[in-house]
Amino acid sequence: MTSVADPAQVAEVPSEPLVDKGLVKWHLTAAIFFMVTAMTWGFLVSLQFFGHYPFEGISFLSYGRVRLLHTNEIAYGFLVNGFVGCMYYAIPRMTGKSVASSKLGWLIFGVWQFIIVAMSVGQLLGFGQGVEWGETPTGFRPGTWELQYIPVDFLIELGAVLVAIQFLTPIVKSVRKHQYVSLWYLTAGMIWLILTYVMGNTLPEWTLAGTSGAATVGLFIHDLVGLFVTPMGWGLMYFFVPVILRKPIWSHALSVIGFWALAFFYPLNGVHHFLLSSIPMSVQYGAIISTMAVEIVVTTVVVNFFATMWGRGDALRTNLPIRWFFTGMICYFITCLQCMFHTTLTMQEIIHFTDWVPGHAHLVMLGVFAFWIMGMTTWLWPRLTGSDWHNRRLNHWHYWLTVIGLVIMFGDLTAAGLVHGYMLAALSPWMEIVRAMHGFWVIRTFAGGMIVAGQLCFAWNMYKTCTGEVKPYDYRVDLATVEA
């Protein structure tokens, strides 16, 4: 078969100054590094559940501290670095303008990695604060202005502001009458990150006491998910899916409805983390209702993605990034459907304080957003290094190990949560529950091991692609698919 145009004419190799590939590359490298670190610690600490943790008895590496490391490095080390890296590629290509400054970019990169390291060390030293998913040390003695440690909270706020300046510059410069939905999402995500972070890391610490503080913390947790991670993930998906499929999204109208519905329904969700607590019931009901309403938002994205895929089902077999996106989208649908049901008080009575919750959290953060970032990295890396993947087969190992590991982990933790919940409801003695959970926890560790192994395959492949022998990689091939 012949193509209508000469591939040489079609090839639009991105001009160098538009995208600073170095920044993309290093942010993605940092993202994968912190992901592997965080997952390794998660794997190790899961051994403690059945008494095989190698660092038993060392206070720095005790469960209560390493757990923070696991969740926070994923949030700030992996997700933020991954999103920022992909934005360095996506935003200049969408706006046609470079980011504010490459120097600023390297400053942000340096500051951000310093923040992650300082955060991790601070948490291991015991300076973590009691804000779930935001245990980044304030650095101050609680409730006072006496400095004990590096004020990581404020550095993160500074970093978030710098990121916003960096990326809003090209977006503002290119504002037109119609802005593509990705830019809506990414712009909002960057601004919401700053606001959310300030809310969660100043109000409970200095002003709001008791349940008000707790309610604010609840809002923070889910606003970080809903007003930062989600819009970033969707914004980038709305860019990468059409680019990789070479096919526009199915419905622009639907994408914009999704955006405004997100902005409208998501902010109130957070209190659903503290259902059946002493927070006023009106607030709890509000959280439940808005959580269910988020389903509307989710549907727009899911429908738009699958409708965009229509007619390109072959890409699932031939195109690994699309397969990652597709798998992530299925996980996304499951997670959100699950969310709609387990946010009800009826179901909370059973699953609250059980392993159901980490099961759900892994499905959404690993199964959805990490899968999407992995897909984007799989697609971007050859373009950044100018060399084809060192070993494509390893990428498939990465995919299958991670996906199978996640499915096992999610199924296992969900089942464990139900067993645990019903045992709690039956007032079983604590030790009985621990005995009943033993098998589930062993399986969870096994699944975690598979996931870590998958990431190691990927990290090694990235390293070899970057440093090993250059395999010629032709951009033109991407644009004009030829018969192999």
Partner 1 sequence: MRSMTRPGPLLHVLAILALVVPAALLLSSRDVPAQEGDAGGRVGLTLADWPAGPAAARGRVVYDKYCVGCHGSSGMGDGTASRWLNPAPRNFQSGNFKFRSTESGQLPTEADLMHVITCGLAGSAMPGFPLVPEQERRDVARYVMHLATLGLGQREVRYLMEEEELSLDEIRAEHLEVIRAGAEQRVASVKTIPIPVAPPITAALIAQGKQVFDTQCAACHGATGRGDGSSSYTLRDYKDDEIRPRDFTTGVFRAGSTPQDLYLRLRAGLSGTPMPAIPGSDEEIWAQVYYILSLRDPDAQTTYVPQVCGGEDPQR
Contact characters 189-228, partner 1, x per CB under 8 A = ----------------------------------------
Structural tokens at position 467: 């440093």
Smaller CB distance to partner 1: residue 281 or 482?
A: 482
- Smallest separation (angstroms) from partner 1 to the CB of 11: 10
Does residue number 441 form part of the binding site for partner 1 (CB under 8 A)?
no
Q: What is the distance between the alpha carbons of residues 446 and 409, in angstroms, rounded to a whole number?
A: 8
Smaller CB distance to partner 1: residue 166 or 465?
A: 465
Among positions 16, 146, 469, 483, the unique one binding partner 1 when judged by CB under 8 A: 483
Binding to partner 1 in span 371-430, by CB under 8 A: 378-379, 392, 395
Smaller CB distance to partner 1: residue 150 or 320?
A: 320
Neighbours of 408 (CB within 10 A): 17
Does residue number 303 form part of the binding site for partner 1 (CB under 8 A)?
no
- Smallest separation (angstroms) from partner 1 to the CB of 3: 6
DSSP string over 353-399: TSTHHHHHHHHHIIIIIIHHHHHHHHHHHHHHHSB--S-HHHHHHHH
Q: Is 470 left (phi over 0), alpha (psi -120 to 50) or beta?
A: beta
Does residue number 15 form part of the binding site for partner 1 (CB under 8 A)?
no
Smaller CB distance to partner 1: residue 157 or 478?
A: 478
Smaller CB distance to partner 1: residue 5 or 434?
A: 5
Smaller CB distance to partner 1: residue 5 or 13?
A: 5
Structural tokens at position 427: 């007032």
Q: What is the distance between the alpha carbons of residues 434 and 422, in angstroms, rounded to a whole number?
A: 13
Smaller CB distance to partner 1: residue 16 or 483?
A: 483
Does residue number 477 form part of the binding site for partner 1 (CB under 8 A)?
yes
Among positions 52, 141, 246, 435, the unique one binding partner 1 when judged by CB under 8 A: 246
CA distances from 350 to 212, 268, 275, 285, 453 (A): 25, 23, 12, 18, 33
Smaller CB distance to partner 1: residue 323 or 360?
A: 323
Does residue number 454 form part of the binding site for partner 1 (CB under 8 A)?
no
Size of the site for partner 1 (CB under 8 A): 34
Among positions 185, 247, 428, 434, the unique one binding partner 1 when judged by CB under 8 A: 247
- Smallest separation (angstroms) from partner 1 to the CB of 319: 4
- Using the CB atoms, write b or e for 127-162: b if 16+ within 10 Å: bbbebbbbbbbbbbeeeeeeeebbbbbbbbbebbeb
Selection from 358, 343, 339 nearest residue 71 by Cα: 358
- Smallest separation (angstroms) from partner 1 to the CB of 401: 17
Sequence length of the chain is 484
- Smallest separation (angstroms) from partner 1 to the CB of 461: 13
- Smallest separation (angstroms) from partner 1 to the CB of 481: 6
Contact 240, 224 (CB under 8 A): no
Contact 220, 196 (CB under 8 A): yes
Does residue number 478 form part of the binding site for partner 1 (CB under 8 A)?
yes
Contact characters 305-344, partner 1, x per CB under 8 A = -----xxxxxx-xxxxx-----------------------
Does residue number 481 form part of the binding site for partner 1 (CB under 8 A)?
yes
- Smallest separation (angstroms) from partner 1 to the CB of 203: 46
Contact partners, residue 243, CB within 8 Å, separation at least 6: none
Please name the residue that has the structure tokens 């005995």: 435
- Smallest separation (angstroms) from partner 1 to the CB of 426: 19
Q: Is 177 left (phi over 0), alpha (psi -120 to 50) or beta?
A: alpha
Contact partners, residue 206, CB within 8 Å, separation at least 6: 143
Smaller CB distance to partner 1: residue 67 or 312?
A: 312
Smaller CB distance to partner 1: residue 49 or 399?
A: 399
Does residue number 9 form part of the binding site for partner 1 (CB under 8 A)?
yes
Q: What is the distance between the alpha carbons of residues 30 and 114, in angstroms, rounded to a whole number?
A: 11
Q: What is the distance between the alpha carbons of residues 114 and 348, in angstroms, rounded to a whole number?
A: 39
- Smallest separation (angstroms) from partner 1 to the CB of 19: 18
Count CA atoms within 13 Å of residue 428 on its CB side. 16
DSSP letter assigned to residue 55: T
Smaller CB distance to partner 1: residue 107 or 303?
A: 303
Q: Is the dihedral of CA 432, 71, 328, 348 positive or negative?
A: positive
Give the interface with partner 1 as residue ranges (CB under 8 A): 1-5, 7, 9-10, 244, 246-247, 310-315, 317-321, 378-379, 392, 395, 477-484
